[in-house]
Amino acid sequence: MPQTKQQPNVVLILADNLGWGELGCYGGGAIRGAPTPRIDALAAQGTQFMNFNVESDCVPTRSALMTGRHPVRTGAMQSVPAGLPQGLIPWERTLAEAFSAQGYATAMYGKWHLGDKEGRYPKDKGFDEWYGIPRTTNESMFMDAVGFDPEVVEVPYVMEGYKGQRAEKRELYDLEMRRRIDEVLTRRSCDFINRHAGKTPFFLYVPLTQLHFPTIPHRDYEGRTGKGDFADSLVEMDARVGQIIDAVQDGGIADDTVFIFASDNGPEYRRPWRGSAGMWTGTYHTAMEGALRVPLIVRWPGKVPAGRQTNEIIHVVDMFPTLARIAGLEVPADRPIDGVDQSAFLLGQQEKSAREGFVYYIKTELRAAKWRDWKMHFVWEVEPNAGANHLETPYVFNIVQDPKEESDVNTTQGWVRGPIRRLVNAFQDSLKRHPPVPPGAPDDYVPSYIMTSPTADRVDRE
């Protein structure tokens, strides 16, 4: 269908395990041994969000992005009982399905991690075409691991799939392909843009594999910085994003394209690929600010204010209803949607975010809640797998005064426990009214409730 001004293209690039402190525009770049001029320029051309919050790790954030629902509702979590299906059940409606229903061409090139079998691949969940990996990047290390036996463990492949057809295995996903994959994803993304620019409105989702471990660069970037593989990989990622920016520009569609760059969670914590959360403490798999808070940049010339930085809270679940409002998509009305429409805030029509806080779960356990300038921890774990301490009296931190989360303010600012408790209680009441999808639920699982109200529960915003 011909593109109209009411149907902007959307390009959404999601970096993997990119911490808040890696990019130059967030205080990293050159001091990390890796200048990031293309992403820094993108930030200057659009709005840079300093308080964008995600889920604890890869699977839950991708689930939240695709559904607008916290993963404790969808059952899409990192750890699913052995032998049970992973990712999203078919009943869940994705952002890609909403775009497709509105006549958009849709494509995904990259890491899915929301289902690794027929019926749950990207081509089954709203994408016309897909090329990438169904699970995650560290599988590229399997073949070189001590004692690896392909007779008992599935050999990982890069896959390709088209709507209505079975997905096919393509390249073996070994360490050499791990180095090359982001170049292939970028090339395919640019080709997709070239095919549709000015002809058909499109949604392009590019979940790159950098900087997930093993954080090793394409051979063309190996040794580029002289600062090691991690810095070389960051420089490569910046260049790949630049190539996609150039494809949009060369297609003459920059003014008609919402260009989004974000990360899925806090930095990589495994050595020797340790990342940086900048001024915050912690890495992914924790409830520390370094896990929650990651880069988000949005450019839409003439629509999204350029050169703006904001510290207002937004959450990854907000992406679905916000893009739905911008592109005229339908948001499901038969289930709770945790995201809020941030389009007025994004477009500079209001100064404040449409939300003040959110709850934070790891798997099915409530770990923390964030509200305005404060965060309350119910479980304390600074480093992944360091031992979770379930607190009898929750810690409360003022994140503005104490970004490292070192000084409990229960004594002097304890009044904030009231609004935070109300936020938590409202969300937990919603879980009782609308029971979550169990992790590992089969394809035919449908929740026992069907909402009749056209609006979702407002449980995670105030």
User: Active-site positions?
Assistant: 58, 113
Contacts for 425 with CB less than 8 Å, ≥ 6 apart: none
Query: 235 is written with which tokens?
Result: 């420089």
Find tokens 């893009």 and name the residue: 323
CA-nearest of 251, 345, 256, 260 to 305 is 345
Phi, psi (degrees; rounded to nearest 5) at 267: -70, 160
Query: What's the per-residue H, E or C state across the chain?
Result: CCCCCCCCEEEEEEECCCCCCCCHHHCCHHHHCCCCHHHHHHHHHCEEEEEEECCCCHHHHHHHHHHCCCHHHHCCCCCCCCCCCCCCCCCCCCHHHHHHHCCCEEEEEEECCCCCCCCCCHHHCCCCEEEEECCCHHHHHHHHCCCCCCCCCCCCEEEEEECCCCCEEEEECCHHHHHHHHHHHHHHHHHHHHHHCCCCCEEEEEECCCCCCCCCCCCCCCCCCCCCHHHHHHHHHHHHHHHHHHHHHHCCCHHHEEEEEEECCCCCCCCCCCCCCCCCCCCCCCCCHHHHEEEEEEECCCCCCCCEEECCCEEHHHHHHHHHHHHCCCCCCCCCCCCCCCHHHHCCCCCCCCCCEEEEEECCEEEEEEECCEEEEEEECCCCCCCCEEEEEEEEEECCCCCCCCCCCHHHHHHHHHHHHHHHHHHHHHHHHCCCCCCCCCCCCCCCCCCCCCCCCCCCCC
Q: Of 63, 171, 172, which is closest to residue 120 (Cα–Cα)?
A: 63
**Cβ-Cβ contacts under 8 Å for 109 (sequence gap 6 or more):** 130, 131, 132, 184, 185, 186, 188, 189, 192, 204, 205, 206
